[in-house]
Amino acid sequence: MRYQPEPEHKFTFGLWTVGNPGRDPFGEAVRPVLSPVEIVHLLAEVGAYGVNLHDNDLVPIDATASERDRIVRDFKNALKETGLVVPMATTNLFGDPIFKDGAFTSNDARVRAYALQKTMQAIDLGVELGAQTYVFWGGREGTETDAGKNPLDAVKRMREAMNFLCEYVKSQQYDLKFALEAKPNEPRGDIFLATTGHMLAFIETLDHADMVGVNPEMAHEHMAGLNFLHNIAQAWDAGKLFHIDLNDQNFARYDQDFRFGSHNYKQAFFLVKFLEDVGYAGSRHFDAHAYRSEDVDGVKDFARGCMRTYLILKDKAAKYKADAEIQALLKEIHAEHSEASSLLGVFDPQKADTLKKHPFDRKAISEVGLKYEKLDQLVFDLLMGIR
């Protein structure tokens, strides 16, 4: 069957995504709460490859040691029965009231220490389940008023925590990489390290920068009004695209976490095309949830839709490459001007000297139209299925 998800596509969902019962700040749950084992079976039914989790999506925060062991055993059995894997794990450092003013950036040393303790335990759990990527989303690491927290301390505390946890992973000899996820706001008024670009700069200040990359989320960059593809390209260029959260939403909204491709077809297309073109080999993780209008069947429609959309766009990317008219236009647009390209590249004094004297016909160069209108319309036609 066409557009059928296969393990090689590495489609994953969080327990918190398909398990989202539809509660929001204005209303109660509209769907039953599914157990982790039920969610694993649901994901297997729709054809996902893997399931990701926060520590407390699986093990309640107050569980005893024996409850933890039973829950983990049942979960592992469900994984075995279905063949699903756990490629990524993370810590819930936002739900419990202790984190009301942050975790790693809290002003309270007891909270910061507890956040480290909780994360080390959650790392142990993730590794036990097979995770090789560990995500950090600091939902509460921010402020409503800058009167209370010093943003400089926040960056330093965040660095201290990351350095501590990298050392922990090394001391345990775990095969685990960290992926930092940015978000500009919500649930805090403002969240520190607000975008993927901030994260990339921060990572370079860490003791073990090689272990740490990013987990950009499409909706989060759109909340900040940014071009997700451009951020992904920069992360890829830096060798830091360790994970990706695919979803969708309109610009300048709250975190809508819609089905992948539900809103911005073109952005989703160019993103998929990029991931496939560069050979991104990590998980395609859908960090989204079904509309609040849906029941459990609707949740399955949602999950199937995320994967189907990805595969349709992947197919469209192949069509784009095979389209003679599009390719001819691209060839024209990207034509090499060898008389100028020999003046570019690595500096040498001779080249600089020649370049300084080189005559440029500014008028002739700028008179030529670039045909992006034509190309963009061809892309639209392709996406709409009439090419």
Residue ranges that bind Mn ion, judged by CB under 5 A: 217, 219, 245, 255, 257, 287
Binder of ligand GLT out of 90, 105, 249, 283 (CB under 6 A): 90
- CA-nearest of 21, 172, 191, 12 to 93 is 191
How big, in percent rounded to 5, are the helix, strand and coil portions of the chain? 50, 10, 40
Three-class SS of 254-306: CCCCECCCCCCHHHHHHHHHHHHHHCCCCCEEECCCCCCCCCHHHHHHHHHHH
**8 Å CB contact between 136 and 91:** yes
> Taking CB positions, which residue lies at the least distance from ligand GLT?
137
Residue 283: which of ligand GLT, Mn ion, none does it interact with, CB under 5 to 8 A by kind? none
Nearest to 306 by CA among 269, 260, 264: 260
Q: Which of 85, 135, 311, 379 binds ligand GLT (CB under 6 A)?
A: 135
Distance CA 173, CA 164 (A): 14
CA distances from 315 to 48, 311, 323, 330, 370 (A): 19, 6, 12, 19, 27
Exactly one of 57, 141, 181, 323 binds ligand GLT (CB under 6 A); that residue is 181
Q: Residue 52 Cβ, how far from ligand GLT at the closest point, in Å?
A: 8
Task: Find which of ligand GLT, Mn ion, none residue 141 binds, CB within 5 to 8 Å per kind.
Answer: none
Interface of this chain with ligand GLT, residues 32 to 61, rule: CB under 6 A:
54
The C-alpha atoms of residue 242 and residue 230 are separated, in whole angstroms, by 16
For residues 73 and 318, what is the distance between their CA atoms, to the nearest angstrom?
43
Q: Which of 49, 137, 260, 286 binds ligand GLT (CB under 6 A)?
A: 137
* Active-site residue list: 54, 57
101 interacts with, out of Mn ion, ligand GLT, none, CB within 5 to 8 A per kind = none
Question: Which residues, 286 to 325, sit near ligand GLT by CB under 6 A?
Answer: 287
User: Rounded to an integer, what distance in angstroms lies between the CA atom of residue 79 and that of residue 73?
Assistant: 10
Residues 218 to 247: which contact ligand GLT by CB under 6 A? 245
CB of 6 to ligand GLT, least distance (A): 24
Nearer to ligand GLT by Cβ, of 101 and 181: the residue is 181
Size of the site for ligand GLT (CB under 6 A): 10
Q: Which residues contact 146 (CB under 8 A, 6 or more apart)?
A: none
Closest separation in Å from C-beta 114 to ligand GLT: 17
Query: Which CB sits closer to ligand GLT, 284 or 316?
Result: 284
Torsions phi, psi for 154 (to 5 deg): -60, -45
Residues that bind ligand GLT (CB under 6 A): 16, 54, 90, 135, 137, 181, 217, 245, 255, 287
